[in-house]
Amino acid sequence: MRILLAEDDRFLADGLKAALSESGYNIDTVNNGLDATAAVKLAPYDLLILDLGLPKMDGLEVLKTVRGSGHNMPVIILTARDGLDDRVLGLDLGANDYVTKPFQLPELEARIRALLRKDNWDNHTEVVYGQLSFNTLSRAVLMDGQPLDLSARELAILEILLQRSGRMVSKQQIVERLSTWDTELSSNAVDIAMHRLRKKLETSKVEIKTLRGLGYLLEKID
Ligand code: CA
């Protein structure tokens, strides 16, 4: 999952980036509102964490612009403790949730998980596809009830394919979801992870089909 973090407090931004990366999210950070609006046009973010007090363009303006241009990713706003009006305005402008500063990391992470679960998994905690079952909270994958041992990258790819099971996913979409500005994933790296993932699914009746030149498709085979 790729997240954009718009926060001008460098200490907070660096800390959040490190902690959320540790939890397996791909994080890009911007420190002003203009860059935030530019960034959402450049990459397909799964979620936006938006501080309201940003230089150049404040967070509410960013929100208005982002929603106005049709981006519908979940947005969590970061607000001041006394910022009731801002919270109400933010929610009215299309934010999905808010966290009041100062906050504890587990609270923010729980809200991120909840929004991503709603947006990507229709609020389901357990997603079953053929012999595979995926826990959207713990991100554990079981095959026939047994844990499937996957690398972080293999897991991320399977997660994307499961989200869109039955629909095609292009390699470019996978690259964009798994990259950050600091670490652009190579197309070759996707091929390697895809190859390993296929091998691990070999004994199941779930298959990753390649549509040459188009992308991949998760399918159940008889
Ligand atoms: Ca700020």
C-alpha of residue 91 to centroid of ligand 1, in Å: 18
Q: What is the pLDDT of residue 116?
A: 94
CATH number at residue 61: 3.40.50.2300
Q: 72: burial class by Cβ within 10 Å (0-12, 13-18, 19+)?
A: exposed
pLDDT at 221: 86
CA of 123 to the centre of ligand 1 (A): 31
The answer to whether residues 100 and 193 belong to one domain is no
State how far the Cα of 36 lies from the Cα of 161, in Å rounded to an integer: 28
User: Distance from the CA of 55 to the center of ligand 1, in angstroms?
Assistant: 8
Predicted local distance difference test score (pLDDT) of residue 173: 92
Task: Say what the pLDDT of residue 164 is.
Answer: 86
52 CA from centroid of ligand 1 (Å):
6
- pLDDT tens figures, 45-55: 999 999 999 99
pLDDT of residue 175: 93
Q: Compute the half-sphere exposure of residue 112: CA atoms within 13 Å on the CB side of its CA.
A: 27
Cα 49 to middle of ligand 1, angstroms: 12
The rounded distance, in Å, linking the Cα atoms of 8 and 33 is 9
- pLDDT averaged over every residue in the chain: 93
Distance 104 CA to ligand 1 centre (A): 17
CA 190/CA 205 separation, integer angstroms: 22
Say if CB 169 and CB 95 are below 8 A apart.
no
**pLDDT for the residue numbered 183:** 86
C-alpha of residue 59 to centroid of ligand 1, in Å? 9
Last residue of a domain, one of 78, 93, 121: 121
CA geometry: angle 11, 71, 66, nearest 5 deg = 55
Residue matched to tokens 């790296």? 189
pLDDT at residue 198, as a whole number: 96
Both 111 and 45 in one domain: the answer is yes
Where in the chain does DSSP place strands (E)?
2-6, 26-30, 47-51, 75-79, 97-100, 126-129, 132-135, 141-143, 146-147, 206-211, 215-220
CA–centroid distance, 95 to ligand 1, in Å, is 17
Dihedral of alpha carbons 137, 142, 147, 153, sign: negative
- pLDDT tens readout for residues 101-133: 999 999 999 999 999 999 989 889 999 999 999
pLDDT band, residue 82 (cuts 50/70/90): confident
Length of the chain: 222
Residue that wins the pLDDT comparison between 74 and 165: 74
For the cut 90, the answer to whether the pLDDT of residue 218 exceeds it is yes
Is the pLDDT score of 28 beyond 80?
Answer: yes
Residues 104 and 18 in one domain: yes
Distance separating alpha carbons of residues 182 and 35, to the nearest angstrom: 16
Domain membership of residue 199 as a residue range: 126-220
Residue at 55: amino acid letter? P
Asked whether residue 180 carries a pLDDT value surpassing 80, the answer given is yes
- Based on the domain organization, do 39 and 116 belong to the same domain? yes
Taking the centre of ligand 1 as the mean of its atom positions, its distance from the CA of residue 7, in whole angstroms, is: 6
Give the model's pLDDT for residue 197.
96
Sheet order of strands, 47-51 included: 26-30, 2-6, 47-51, 75-79, 97-100
Q: What is the CATH number of the domain that holds 213?
A: 1.10.10.10
Q: Are residues 104 and 10 in the same domain?
A: yes
Claim to verify: residue 115 and residue 166 sit in the same structural domain: no
Say if pTM beats, i.e. exceeds, 0.85. yes
> Within a 10 A sphere around the Cβ of 57, how many other Cβ atoms?
17
Q: Can you read off the two tokens belonging to residue 43?
A: 């990459």
Residue 80, pLDDT score: 83
CA of 120 to the centre of ligand 1 (A): 29
pLDDT at 222: 76
Q: 175 CA distance to ligand 1 centroid (A)?
A: 31
Check whether residue 135 and residue 55 sit in a common domain. no
